[in-house]
Structure 1
Amino acid sequence: MLLRLALALCLGTSAAVADVSVTIHYLRQEVEQPPVLSNLDPIPEDLGLKGAELGLADNATTGRFMGQTWALEVTEVPIGGDLAAAARAALATTDLIVLDAPADAALAMADLPEAAGALIFNSAAPDDRLRGADCRANLLHTLPSNAMRTDALAQFLLNRRWNDLAMITGTHPDDIAFAESLRASLAKFGMRLTAEKTWAFDADMRRNASQEVPLFTQDLKAHDVLLIADEIHDFGRYIAYNTWIPRPVAGSEGLVPVAWAQVVEQWGAAQLQSRFTDVAARPMQSRDYAAWAAVRAVGEAVTRTGAADTATLRAYLLGPDFELAGFKGRPLSFRDWNGQLRQPIPLVTQRAVVAQAPLEGFLHQVNELDTLGRDAPESDCSAFQK
């Protein structure tokens, strides 16, 4: 008991040490992956899940001293399966859900009557509308929004004074959404697109890139950087070094804004990477990090409040005292106007971190992390209004 009380004091919590049992349900909707030109980067079957498992192990480490018992339930809904039925079954056992599903599925679950008092953590859908007009009071977001990622890239480009940009966009809905976010970020920071083109080739670029890409990019107007909106990672890998005019590539390829990448090493990140590799036998990716952050956020809230009911946890998570050590050099916290987890965005290449946003000089009256994504005055989310 003395050890428990000492640790509670070290953690800075005023809550009395008491036995608390917490169950989190990881719910995943499998989706059909679009065909791509290369299979060099297969999507891990356990993407996201391993992050949740590591987060639970971290919670359990603290929980042993705090009288906490942690459990993780997992449901994977096959393609075409009944997510609503799986969600109801999950909600029958716990109100704490980490959800790996597309935006429409996330909204459908959040709108279930059984989910009215739940806390659902979106760890997979970057859609800006989930943090905007389509926000839900019971839906928090640990994966960065598209706007956060594209704002991070725009800050870097502006910092380098690369103000004139061209863009190539794929035809998949994820590509189109990312391109829309890029346009908004460039306008926000006073840059412009000099030219845009849509990539609709079905040729085998593995053989023809050196012939096709120069011709495709020949008519692009003068630009400093070529932006690529290829979120399904289909054609973008063949653009660099094959363009008519030699220019840096950024966006979905080249210099990429991410929630997490294996090249992130500072602020204790190497230790997190190592622990994740022990669990998953592969590097941590952005959706793994988002699932880990969701589970750890619950763990931090339970430890600080000494409670496990969702009303208490939600109030604390959205309040001014919540902070999560996220191995990114700054404490992470939730925006109380749309439920998005504030976090720095690393800008990475395949081999290194080039920068981390927000960059120096991009100031905010409250929190510089709010220079990334929709700030409170810009938000059209009404579900979180007090």
Structure 2
Amino acid sequence: MHGILRGLVVAFGLFVSAAAAQTPVAVEVTYLRQVVPPPPTLSNLDPRPEDRGPAGAALGLSDNATTGRFLGQDWSLELVDVAPGADWAAAVADRLATDAFVLLDAPAEQILAAADAAQAAGSAALLINVSAEATDLRAGSCRANLLHTVPSLAMRADALAQMFVKKRWEEIALIAGQNTSDQAYAAALRASLAKFGLGLEAETDWTFDADMRRSAAAEVPLLTQPLGDYDVLLVADEVHDFGRYILYNTWAPRPVAGSEGLTAEGWAPVVEQWGAAQLQSRFQEASGRQMLPRDYAAWAAMRSLGEAVTRTGSADPATLRDYMLGPDFELAGFLGRPLTFRPWNGQLRQPIPIVHPRALVAQAPLEGFLHQVNELDTLGLDRGEAGCTAFE
């Protein structure tokens, strides 16, 4: 026993000495957010937390600092909001002049503009997208200085398609909203159904502007009756306007999935396995609310930087980028398997929880969906599909 204690004391002493010998590393991160007013919706039951995203980054900062204080790391995080109508380009230029690491929370076109501005200015900054799910940012519009911790629309849609294959729900119907984000998700769902050999038997658009709180029981059956018979009804309503009124009001009693009912998300409050309950409780304690997908993406971005800084002992953005895209990087993300970055387009590989509001139903990739390199690459754009040349 005394020998064991002596060994522990010696090991601890070596650890402290090694930590003390570390060259101090300062890591300054900016969370740059374009404030986007939410579109009007039929219901006010889902208020959007003002700290959605920054709260996740703050928890990641705390996690990094906990480890970093023993290794000579000095972490800081600054939130910079760009008001609607304000000069996004000027805000980007201002941050690139001072910070080497920027988390971007903005629409896809503005994230792309930020990446191009950094390249044009000769900035070595590493940018991480924590909000824009547009698949094209991982495809033809990819940029070498831009990584993604938020899953793409294609990843979320592929997760549902795998679930449908396992359930043998082969005949699908679709209702799509008119918002741009609704249409983008609908396009991703169509592509995933085709990818996995499922049939889109019928589809229609949501064009109602009536108050569904009073008329859903009358209007929704009329809308869905012409869709005929199907195994599952997909709803593309990413602004969460009308989808809640589809459930239990359809002409045919069938499951509803997509933006409502059975959903595929980067993260959900009902994820509790693989140590996730501990992350959920720490976030709840810090922010006073449940962790949402954008919070998780921001947390994963901060933790990815933290893991790379710890492993390399460097705060050089080029060094960290190379490590994060390399074979030795792994992030423990509380999703059952290590998370890694795809070296061909900078997307974080991650399992996708398939959930309903009260429980986790499954997690994609589902059993039986195999890949020659990594089963997580059955979700979203594989190397041969991406068409991204910036990372070559």
Q: TM-score surpassing 0.5? A: yes
Matches within 5 A, 1:98-113: 98-112=103-117, 113=120
- 1:83 and 1:378 map into 2 onto residues whose CA distance is 32
Contact map agreement 1:358 1:371 (CA 8 A) in 2: yes
The letter for the 2-side match of 1:72 is: L
Inter-CA distance 219–5: structure 2 relative to 1 (3 Å threshold):
farther
The Cα offsets for residues 310-366 of structure 1, whole Å up to 9 and x where unpaired, read as: 110000000000000000000000000000000000001000000000000000011
- Structure 2 counterparts to residues 1-386 of structure 1, below 5 A: 3=12, 6=15, 17-112=22-117, 113-114=120-121, 116-385=123-392
Query: Residues 308 and 150 from structure 1, CA distance in 2 versus in 1: closer, same or farther, beyond 3 angstroms?
Result: same
| Corresponding residue SS for 1:254 | coil
Secondary structure of residue in 2 paired with 1:283: coil
Asked if structure 2 preserves the Cα contact closer than 8 Å seen for 1:5 and 1:17, the reply is no
Q: Which amino acid in 2 is paired with 1:298?
A: L
CA distance in 2, matches of 1:77, 1:373: 30
* SS of residue matched to 2:353: strand
8 Å Cα contact 1:128-1:146 kept in structure 2: yes
Displacement after TM superposition at 1:9 (Å)? 9.1
Shift of 1:74: 1.2
Displacement, 1:88?
1.4
Q: How far did 1:264 drift?
A: 0.4
- Pick the structure with greater CA Rg: 2
| CA gap 1:4/1:248 in 2 versus in 1, 3 angstroms | farther
Give the TM-score normalised by the residue count of structure 2: 0.95
Instruction: Mark the CA change 1:57 to 1:4 in structure 2 (over 3 Å): closer, same or farther.
Output: farther
Report the CA distance shift for 1:225/1:7 in structure 2 as closer, same or farther (over 3 A): farther
User: d(CA) in 1 for partners of 2:209 and 2:73?
Assistant: 54
Structure 1 position 7, deviation (Å): 7.7
Q: Distance in 2 between matches of 1:363 and 1:25?
A: 38
CA contact (8 A) 1:8 1:66 kept: no
Which secondary structure does the structure 1 equivalent of 2:247 belong to?
coil
SS at 2:70 equivalent: helix
Secondary structure of the 1:325 match is: coil
Q: Please tell me whether the aligned partners of residues 169 and 176 of structure 1 are also in contact (alpha carbons under 8 angstroms).
A: yes
CA drift of 1:84 comes to: 1.2
Taking the aligned partners of 2:245 and 2:325, their CA distance within structure 1 comes to 43
Cα displacement (A) at 1:115: 6.3
> What do residues 14-57 of structure 1 show as CA deviations (whole Å, max 9, x unaligned)?
xx832111111100001121110001001111110000000000
Contact 2:59/2:299 (8 A) holds in 1: yes
Query: What is the rounded CA distance, in whole Å, between the counterparts of 2:339 and 2:295 in structure 1?
Result: 16
Is contact 1:110–1:116 with CA below 8 Å preserved after alignment? no
Could you tell me how far apart the structure 2 residues matched to 1:264 and 1:374 are? 25
Alpha-carbon separation, structure 2, partners of 1:4 and 1:258: 44
**Aligned residue type for 1:124:** S
Q: Deviations over 1:181-200 (max 9, x none)?
A: 00000000000111000001
Cα distance between partner residues in 2 of 1:56 and 1:320:
24
Is contact 1:213-1:244 (8 Å) kept? yes
Distance 1:374 1:324 in 2: 20
Measure the CA separation in 2 of the matches of 1:131 and 1:367. Answer: 18
Q: How far does residue 5 in structure 1 lie from its aligned partner after superposition? A: 5.2
Q: Tell me the TM-score normalised to structure 1 length.
A: 0.96
Q: Do the aligned partners of 1:95 and 1:115 also contact (CA within 8 Å) in 2?
A: no
3-state SS of the aligned residue for 2:175? Answer: strand
Hey, what's the Cα distance between the residues in 2 that align with 1:368 and 1:7?
39
Distance 1:229 1:371 in 2: 22
Contact between 2:182 and 2:238, CA under 8 Å: does it hold in 1?
yes
Q: Is the 8 A contact 2:148 2:348 kept in 1?
A: yes
| Contact kept? 1:257, 1:346, Cα under 8 Å | yes
Would the aligned equivalents of 2:96 and 2:123 in 1 still touch at CA under 8 Å?
no
- Name the CA distance, whole Å, in 1 between partners of 2:16 and 2:351: 29
Structure 1 unpaired stretches of 5+: 11-15
Residue-pair matches, total: 380
- 8 Å contact kept, 1:96–1:120: yes
Q: Are the counterparts in 2 of residues 228 and 236 from structure 1 also a CA contact under 8 Å?
A: yes
3-state SS in 2 of match to 1:219? helix
Q: Is the 8 A contact 2:133 2:150 kept in 1?
A: yes
Instruction: Measure the CA separation in 2 of the matches of 1:49 and 1:4.
Output: 37
Gaps of 5+ in 2: 1-9
